[in-house]
Structure 1
Amino acid sequence: MGYLDKIKLAQYSRREDWLNSISHMVGGGLSVVALLLCLVRAVLARRWDYAVLGLVYGLTMIAMYSCSSVYHALRPNRGKRAMRLVDHAMIYPMIAGTITPLAVLVIVPQRPVLGWVLVGVAWAVVAAAVPITLTLFNKTKITQMVLYLALGWMVIVAVKTLWEHFDRTGMWLLVSGGLAYTLGAVLYGIGAKKPYFHSVFHFFVLAGSILHFLSLYLYVFVVK
């Protein structure tokens, strides 16, 4: 039995899996819009750093939603098992891609060392966690969830800087997005075998992404 044959697939009905796929197809489409808006803003602001950071943010979000949508659209086979690995692995770069513009544009100007350490740690986790998830999937499920949450909330170490130098509305959008992702993760854990709980989890992920986009677009990628 090969490695992929040992990867267990969640037992969703075909209708539920289509809902899962469509919901994150919508997320992928919204991610494309988010990327384009960030790039337009970069041009208007004449900021090359906005363009680079917008690409990092937008492309990692597009990758996560696209892989998730493809995974759920496939029928149970080796291809679906392979895409389950990729689906889980792509969550790490999406989180790091969201943290990066916040750290570079808000934290670095006030506390350069802290800001760049956050960026470095975030992408170091990505570099380590992606291959581990791809090659040791069945043995690291709890570790994966812990890393998702730890990576997502790591900016809390800069909460004082953010509170003093980040717009209050932007801050609350950021926190609300984090809470949406976290609540979704809880539902994912407790509802693994309950019909349509995974679909609800997908909508919480969408909500988290939308809230974080509003925070970044309105209060980080600003035109002064």
Structure 2
Amino acid sequence: MRSLTAIAIAIFLSTPALGQVPSAGDPPADDPRIEAAKQHHDKGVEFFEAGDYESALTEFKATYDLSKRQDVLFNMAVATDKLGRYSESAGYLERYLTLEPGAKDAKELLAKVKTKMAASSAATASAAPAPTRRTASKPPAGASVLVALGASLLIADIGTAAAGYSLSSRLESQPLDLWTYLDAEAQGQRLNQASAALLAIGLSASLAGVTWHLVAYGRQHRTP
């Protein structure tokens, strides 16, 4: 493949080579832009040989803006290839081959650049993080304990209420002496109080457990 220095010599002869007819877009040989373009190109070659491909590309772009010579597109393609900007490099080469369809070195470089583009795309795709799958988390243990405790207390309340009802039925159906009656009545009051307490605590525990479950479920589904 030809070197950038060789291209510089070929591009910036002040007069066309023997038998070569200047294209309509070329600036005249005495145009001051020719000398400015040559200076930019020389700087670009120096930067390129020093490994500063970004600065080299800047100079080559300035060269092309001044000269509109298609060979500079090849230099720009080489610089962007070195920078790893393969899509941009391929674009310059395709523009160049439109003007110079027989340029073998440009075709070879374009094939290499496209291979690098495909490899880079494959590497990017493989490195992309896989979409996270939302896994159903277990409900909070404390919430489950509260629900279970509330259910147990409510069951106990049913048993207490049943005992109170049985005692009340016995008081109504059997004749009792005064002391037995008073003792049974006190026992009935204790059963009523215990039933009310069990009902209140059981409902509170169950409600707290269910609320805890719902809050935890909502947080789980809001988390990305």
TM-score (norm 1): 0.28
User: Which one has the bigger helix percentage?
Assistant: 1
TM-score (norm 2): 0.28
Higher Cα Rg, which structure: 2
Query: Which structure is richer in relative contact order (CA contacts within 8 A, separation 6 or more)?
Result: 1
